[in-house]
């Protein structure tokens, strides 16, 4: 079959990789000049297979005043005259229950476990240099309520059979594991350690995949600098796309265009429940390896992640619900730089910062949309992975290839398929 993949971020490229392995002829289309120019360009770098708690959780209502009023809140919500924002927001609040959070967590763990297996297979079989490290991850807690909930979440994940490797560490154990956390000593209450987590540079991973796929025995065709104007549906079947350069027909089309997927699907009467979560990152040159963390660290209270990628420390955070705005908020960049300096003083140079911001497509529950679309035969979705795009990409791509190839999906798709 000829399969068209729309989007050359990590989600689209992992779909292309799985499809090409299954023997399909694949064409990847993207408006940018190369892969990973948007949400995959400079994300947090963590591959968090065992720690996938969704943003929608039972503690959200207590945090809403801060999201609305505090300039330094790690998550910000700015109301807009946008019916879709309000509709998505209501769906998000409805998902903020213990039951839904636990259900979503169990679903994400199934998908992340598949992703880990596939990523480790790829690393073993292929040659891609993307600063891949298997140093584990520590989620550091400094708030009593959040620390209690984290240990409960760990118990929930263990109950699924997929979170058994996690351990709750006291402050002394956290510092023994990662001595670079010394500056957090006075506020550290404990941490959740997941030894099996990985880290890597998502952009380098994507660029490596492009080279690998283009040179394979079943080479993938890449159409960069090509904007998709419209999906083409004839008699209920999606037959391809019209671009700003040509019309491309295919037997199957996989939609992986991040937040842009919603606008592209809407003319077909498909309403994708996606909203952008704006995130930021800095890439700081490490000057003292003993003062920069070796283990990937998440500062839970600040919602900031730290991952060592080669000679750099990737610092990423924020989840701003501010619409399609892709401009830099200088206050957010300054906050990120201050927090990094306070957390790991003397570990890195304060210039250059190499700032980045991007829009991560999120569903209200936090579970991505995978699979077929009713009323649009030949169209398959892989969107809405949110802040877990790098983590879930390999598994998402395999699920799509399973369905395109006529096989049962590698995981149970309940909760992942588009409803309505």
The reported pLDDT for the residue numbered 162 is 58
How open is the CA angle 360-199-213, to the nearest 5 degrees?
75
Whether residue 133 is found in the same domain as residue 215 = no
The reported pLDDT for the residue numbered 73 is 87
Split at pLDDT 50, 70, 90, the class of 233 is very high
The reported pLDDT for the residue numbered 161 is 66
Q: Which two tokens stand for residue 3?
A: 């399969």
- Other Cβ atoms closer than 10 A to 358: 23
Whether residue 237 is found in the same domain as residue 375 = yes
The reported pLDDT for the residue numbered 89 is 92
In a domain, 131, yes or no: yes
Residue 283's SS3 state is strand
In a domain, 225, yes or no: yes
Between CA 15 and CA 84 the distance in angstroms is 28
The larger pLDDT score, comparing residue 238 to residue 64, is at 238
- Other Cβ atoms closer than 10 A to 355: 16
Q: Is the pLDDT of residue 16 over 80?
A: yes
Q: What pLDDT, in 10s, does the model give residues 397-420? A: 999 999 999 999 999 999 999 986
| Average model confidence (pLDDT) across the chain | 94
The reported pLDDT for the residue numbered 51 is 82
Between CA 409 and CA 403 the distance in angstroms is 6
Q: What pLDDT, in 10s, does the model give residues 42-84? A: 999 999 998 888 889 888 878 778 777 787 888 888 888 899 9
Whether residue 26 is found in the same domain as residue 66 = no
In a domain, 417, yes or no: no
In a domain, 262, yes or no: yes
Residue 363's SS3 state is coil
| Percent of residues, the chain, with pLDDT higher than 90 | 85
Whether residue 61 is found in the same domain as residue 133 = yes
Whether residue 257 is found in the same domain as residue 131 = no
Q: Which two tokens stand for residue 55?
A: 């943003």
In a domain, 410, yes or no: no
Whether residue 294 is found in the same domain as residue 356 = yes
Between CA 304 and CA 409 the distance in angstroms is 34
Residue 228's SS3 state is strand
Q: What pLDDT, in 10s, does the model give residues 149-165? A: 889 878 877 776 655 58
Whether residue 66 is found in the same domain as residue 94 = yes
Whether residue 351 is found in the same domain as residue 245 = no
- Tell me what the mean pLDDT of segment 216-223 comes to: 97
With contact defined as beta carbons under 8 Å apart, do 369 and 384 qualify? yes
The reported pLDDT for the residue numbered 356 is 97
Beta-ladder partners of 75: 319
Q: Is the pLDDT of residue 242 over 60?
A: yes
Please provide residue 171's backbone torsions phi and psi, each rounded to the nearest 5 degrees: -55, -40
The reported pLDDT for the residue numbered 163 is 56
The reported pLDDT for the residue numbered 219 is 97
The reported pLDDT for the residue numbered 159 is 74
Whether residue 59 is found in the same domain as residue 130 = yes
**Number of folded domains in the chain?**
2
Domain with 336 in it: 46-198+275-362
In a domain, 10, yes or no: yes
Residue 327's SS3 state is coil
The reported pLDDT for the residue numbered 160 is 66
- Tell me what the mean pLDDT of segment 330-344 comes to: 95
| CA 340 to chain CA centroid, nearest Å | 21
How open is the CA angle 390-394-397, to the nearest 5 degrees?
115
Between CA 113 and CA 117 the distance in angstroms is 6
The reported pLDDT for the residue numbered 77 is 86
- Kindly list the distances between the CA atom of residue 354 and the CA atoms of 283, 302, 312, 350, in Å, as whole numbers in the listed order: 6, 21, 11, 10
Q: Using omega within 30 degrees of 0 as the cis cutoff, is the peptide bond preceding 25 cis?
A: no
Q: Which two tokens stand for residue 196?
A: 């099996």
Measured over all CA atoms, what is the biggest interatomic distance in the chain, rounded to whole angstroms?
65
In a domain, 419, yes or no: no
Q: What is the CATH number of the domain that holds 193?
A: 3.30.9.10
- Tell me what the mean pLDDT of segment 270-275 comes to: 97
pTM of this prediction? 0.96
Whether residue 281 is found in the same domain as residue 152 = yes
Whether residue 151 is found in the same domain as residue 173 = yes
Beta-ladder partners of 199: 46, 133
With contact defined as beta carbons under 8 Å apart, do 16 and 4 qualify? no
- Other Cβ atoms closer than 10 A to 368: 28
Q: What pLDDT, in 10s, does the model give residues 21-43? A: 999 999 999 999 999 999 999 99
Q: Is the pLDDT of residue 274 over 70?
A: yes
In a domain, 98, yes or no: yes
Whether residue 184 is found in the same domain as residue 227 = no
């Amino acid at each position: 079959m000829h399969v068209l993949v729309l989007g050359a971020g990590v989600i689209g490229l992992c779909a292309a990789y799985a499809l090409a392995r299954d023997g399909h002829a694949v064409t990847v289309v993207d408006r940018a000049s190369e892969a990973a120019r948007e949400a995959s360009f400079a994300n947090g770098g963590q591959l968090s297979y065992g720690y996938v708690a969704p943003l929608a959780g039972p503690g959200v209502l207590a945090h809403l005043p801060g999201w609305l009023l505090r300039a330094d809140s790690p998550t910000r919500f700015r109301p807009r005259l946008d019916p879709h924002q309000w509709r998505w927001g209501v769906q998000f609040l409805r998902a903020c229950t213990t039951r839904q959070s636990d259900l979503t967590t169990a679903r994400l763990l199934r998908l992340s476990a598949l992703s880990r297996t596939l990523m480790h297979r790829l690393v073993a079989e292929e040659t891609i240099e993307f600063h891949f490290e298997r140093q584990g991850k520590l989620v550091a807690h400094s708030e009593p309520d959040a620390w209690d909930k984290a240990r409960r979440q760990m118990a929930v994940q263990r109950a699924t059979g997929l979170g058994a490797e996690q351990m709750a560490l006291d402050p002394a154990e956290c510092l023994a594991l990662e001595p670079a956390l010394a500056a957090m000593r006075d506020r550290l209450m404990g941490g959740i350690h997941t030894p099996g987590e990985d880290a890597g540079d998502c952009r380098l991973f994507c660029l490596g995949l492009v080279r690998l796929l283009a040179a394979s025995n079943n080479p993938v065709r890449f159409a960069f600098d090509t904007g998709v104007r419209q999906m083409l549906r004839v008699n209920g079947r999606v037959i391809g796309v019209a671009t700003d350069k040509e019309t491309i027909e295919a037997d199957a089309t996989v939609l992986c265009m991040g937040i842009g997927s919603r606008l592209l699907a809407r003319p077909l009467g498909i309403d994708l429940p996606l909203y952008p979560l704006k995130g930021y990152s800095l890439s700081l040159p490490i000057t003292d390896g003993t003062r920069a963390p070796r283990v990937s660290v998440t500062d839970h209270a600040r919602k900031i992640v730290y991952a060592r990628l080669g000679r750099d420390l990737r610092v990423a955070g924020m989840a701003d619900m501010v619409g399609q705005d892709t401009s830099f908020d200088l206050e957010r960049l300054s906050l990120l730089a201050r927090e990094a300096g306070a957390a790991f003083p003397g570990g890195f140079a304060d210039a250059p910062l190499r700032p980045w911001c991007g829009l991560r497509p999120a569903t209200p529950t936090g579970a991505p949309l995978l699979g077929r679309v009713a009323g649009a035969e030949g169209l398959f979705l892989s969107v809405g992975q949110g802040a877990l795009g790098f983590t879930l990409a390999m598994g998402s791509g395999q699920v799509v290839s399973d369905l395109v190839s006529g096989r049962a999906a590698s995981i149970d798709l309940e909760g992942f398929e588009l409803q309505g």
